[in-house]
Amino acid sequence: MNAQQIESLLQSVRDWPREDRDELVEAARDIEARRSGVYQASADELAALDDAESSGIATPTELRETFEALRRA
């Protein structure tokens, strides 16, 4: 795929429904994480971890292990 094709695709993506754009962003983030070796947790993932911490669903040890796993992914 050349630069012009990518630009054309990105233009059409702007008109996609939000859930489709979100899905594309998630797929791109996964690819970027694989390529760079660095995973960036999404705002939703971080919020879920915060909720787990404040609700008592997860222990501090479980949360620490989850963050360590995210750092390694």
Nearest one of 13, 60, 67, 22 to 40, comparing CA atoms: 67
What's the length of the chain? Answer: 73
- DSSP 8-class letter at 42: -
Residue with tokens 């702007």: 14
Those residues of the chain that have pLDDT short of 70 are: 72-73
> What is the model's pLDDT at position 4?
92
Q: What is the rounded CA–CA span in Å between residue 53 and residue 2? A: 45
> What is the model's pLDDT at position 73?
59
Give the tens place of pLDDT for each residue, 12-29: 999 999 999 999 998 998
Task: Write out the two tokens for 24.
Answer: 């594309």
The full set of domain ranges for the chain reads: 1-39, 41-73
**DSSP element (H, E) containing 2:** none
- Model-level pTM? 0.50
